[in-house]
Amino acid sequence: MKRYEIKYLLKEDVSALLGTTICVKGWVRTKRGNKNVAFLAVNDGSIIHNIQVVADPQKFEEELRRITTGACIGVEGKLVESQGSGQAVEVQAERIVVYGEADPNTYPLQKKGHSMEFLREIGHLRLRTNTFGAVMRLRHNMAMAIHTFFHERGFFYFHTPLITASDCEGAGEMFHVSTLDPENPPRKEDGTIDWEQDFFGKFTALTVSGQLEGELGATSLGKIYTFGPTFRAENSNTPRHLAEFWMIEPEMAFYQMDELTALEEEFIKYCVRWALDHCMDDLEFLNKMIDPGLIERLRSVVDTEFVRLPYTEGIKILEEAVKNGEKFEFPVSWGVDLASEHERYLVEKHFKKPVIMIDYPKEIKAFYMKLNDHVEEEGKRQGFSGLTVQGTDVLFPQIGEIIGGSVREENYDKLMGRIEELHIPMKDMWWYLDTRRYGSCPHAGFGLGFERLLLFVTGMANIRDVIPFPRTPKTAEF
């Protein structure tokens, strides 16, 4: 008996199948009915919608007793046009197999409307809810959109290592990778740990970014992108931070600032449009159940031109807002690293559209960003150098920073200057510096936080709910 996926039965033209016996399999969402007829709503994950199975309670007394919410069943039966409203077809059961029961006394997903916090505690089962089904299908679709976007534009998918010795962002938030005995590591004469005896013969950690190796790819293949997990041991318990998250990092030889920001904008719009074109059933569900402004917000992003805003101008706007009575938790002046409340003010209240902020003070950005040659007087007044770098952050409504990127410093001496200023250990950087020593080229790139994109596209409020198994401080269950 041929099994059909529910998506096929509900979305394709199945008129030729009407009246024939088919097979469907899936998990029972609800069982209802009376002594004359039983209705089972069955879902197999292929689509948010369920197919209705109609069963005779006398004939299937034994099976129906074992079937409760969450049970897994297979049904053979006649495909007919649906009597009730809601969907086009349903299955009149001729044979039912119960693959797995779900004891209603212990199966935790009984009623609708569990809190997100509760669902996180049952992360192994929450995937079977409508909401997480919708989010995971969108997650898959965004991955497909990303690969398609870059492939169509001649970028090569480039795999950078997860285990590394270099701290790209320089924030010192790396998870160590070691096979040494933590109780009793080998020590050097001065008492410090002898990493030379470790597995890789040196100190290693999980990567915080594939960028540095990505630059090696771009300076040979021209245009590359990475798409993989990254790890940050930052103790940020916020709705926007994960300790393990996925990042997409394109890197392009010969791109300048305007080409970089154009790509950032085109890329995000492409992904959002993909969601609108391919995932409307899931979006409609999320729009109804999670975030009533979702679809409208997605449409508006696709149709709006993002603002380009130099940091210095952004600070002026924020200072003006404070003068006019806006209350921020953190103070604003030239040189501060903007907090998410500041970013959201600019995006949600001032411009009411996505903002690409550029030209940040060099003091608050990573070592690899290209130095501008003009000096901001306001920066000097505030006790900074006044020098800015060609960094770009894309700021989004609800989210804040969704992309961080920059034009790279390709000048060897200037780059060395920054490395020395910041006391970055040279021994792990020699190979990176060779890109500037041999055939150095202007280039640029950015990193998009995959889960931040998903927050935007799904309307979910917490980043823990857009990845199957979140890793955050003090949680690594499942």
Q: What are the residues binding ligand 4AD (CB under 6 A)?
A: 168-169, 209, 211, 232, 234, 241-242, 245, 247, 249, 401-406, 445-447, 449, 451-452
Nearer to ligand 4AD, 49 or 232 (CB): 232
**Pairwise CA distance, residues 238 & 97, whole Å:** 45
Nearer to ligand 4AD, 67 or 208 (CB): 208
Q: Which amino acid is at 476?
A: A
CB-count burial class (<10 Å; 0-12, 13-18, 19+) for 81:
exposed
**Pairwise CA distance, residues 70 & 127, whole Å:** 12
In the bound complex, what is the minimum distance in angstroms from residue 391's beta carbon to Mg ion?
8
HSE of 101 in the Cβ direction (CA atoms, 13 Å)? 10
Nearer to Mg ion, 136 or 402 (CB): 402
In the bound complex, what is the minimum distance in angstroms from residue 242's beta carbon to ligand 4AD?
4
In the bound complex, what is the minimum distance in angstroms from residue 154's beta carbon to Mg ion?
27
Closest alpha carbon to 265 in 369, 439, 149, 154: 149
Q: Which does 447 bind (CB under 5 to 8 A by kind): Mg ion, ligand 4AD, none?
A: ligand 4AD
Q: Which does 169 bind (CB under 5 to 8 A by kind): Mg ion, ligand 4AD, none?
A: ligand 4AD
In the bound complex, what is the minimum distance in angstroms from residue 240's beta carbon to ligand 4AD?
6
Q: Are 51 and 89 in contact (CB under 8 A)?
A: yes
**Pairwise CA distance, residues 275 & 282, whole Å:** 9
Nearer to ligand 4AD, 70 or 400 (CB): 400
Q: Are 436 and 209 in contact (CB under 8 A)?
A: no
In the bound complex, what is the minimum distance in angstroms from residue 346's beta carbon to ligand 4AD?
16
Tokens standing for residue 354: 């996505």
In the bound complex, what is the minimum distance in angstroms from residue 449's beta carbon to Mg ion?
9
**Pairwise CA distance, residues 58 & 37, whole Å:** 9
Please report, as residue ranges, which positions from 81 to 120 form the binding site for Mg ion (by CB under 5 A).
none
Q: Which does 242 bind (CB under 5 to 8 A by kind): Mg ion, ligand 4AD, none?
A: ligand 4AD
Q: Which does 446 bind (CB under 5 to 8 A by kind): Mg ion, ligand 4AD, none?
A: ligand 4AD
Q: Which does 355 bind (CB under 5 to 8 A by kind): Mg ion, ligand 4AD, none?
A: none
Nearer to Mg ion, 213 or 343 (CB): 343
Q: Which does 150 bind (CB under 5 to 8 A by kind): ligand 4AD, Mg ion, none?
A: none
**Pairwise CA distance, residues 138 & 461, whole Å:** 15
In the bound complex, what is the minimum distance in angstroms from residue 398's beta carbon to ligand 4AD?
13
In the bound complex, what is the minimum distance in angstroms from residue 401's beta carbon to Mg ion?
6
Nearer to ligand 4AD, 53 or 224 (CB): 224
In the bound complex, what is the minimum distance in angstroms from residue 405's beta carbon to ligand 4AD?
4
Tokens standing for residue 250: 């394109």
**Pairwise CA distance, residues 285 & 114, whole Å:** 16
How far is C-alpha 245 from the geometric centre of its chain's CA atoms? 7
Integer-rounded Cα Rg, in Å, for the chain is 27
**Pairwise CA distance, residues 436 & 452, whole Å:** 32
Q: Which does 64 bind (CB under 5 to 8 A by kind): Mg ion, ligand 4AD, none?
A: none
Task: Give the Å distances, CA to CA, from 385 to 219, 374, 381, 389, 413.
Answer: 31, 11, 9, 12, 18
- By CB under 5 A, how many residues form the interface with Mg ion? 1
**Pairwise CA distance, residues 28 & 5, whole Å:** 14
Number of CB atoms found within 10 A of residue 240's CB: 18
**Pairwise CA distance, residues 424 & 166, whole Å:** 10
Q: Are 94 and 76 in contact (CB under 8 A)?
A: yes
Binding mask 381-420 for Mg ion (x = CB under 5 A): -----------------------x----------------
Nearer to Mg ion, 133 or 445 (CB): 445
CA angle 225–394–216, rounded 5-degree value = 25
Q: Which does 470 bind (CB under 5 to 8 A by kind): Mg ion, ligand 4AD, none?
A: none
Nearer to ligand 4AD, 168 or 332 (CB): 168
Nearer to ligand 4AD, 71 or 248 (CB): 248
In the bound complex, what is the minimum distance in angstroms from residue 340's beta carbon to ligand 4AD?
11
Binding site for Mg ion (CB under 5 A): 404
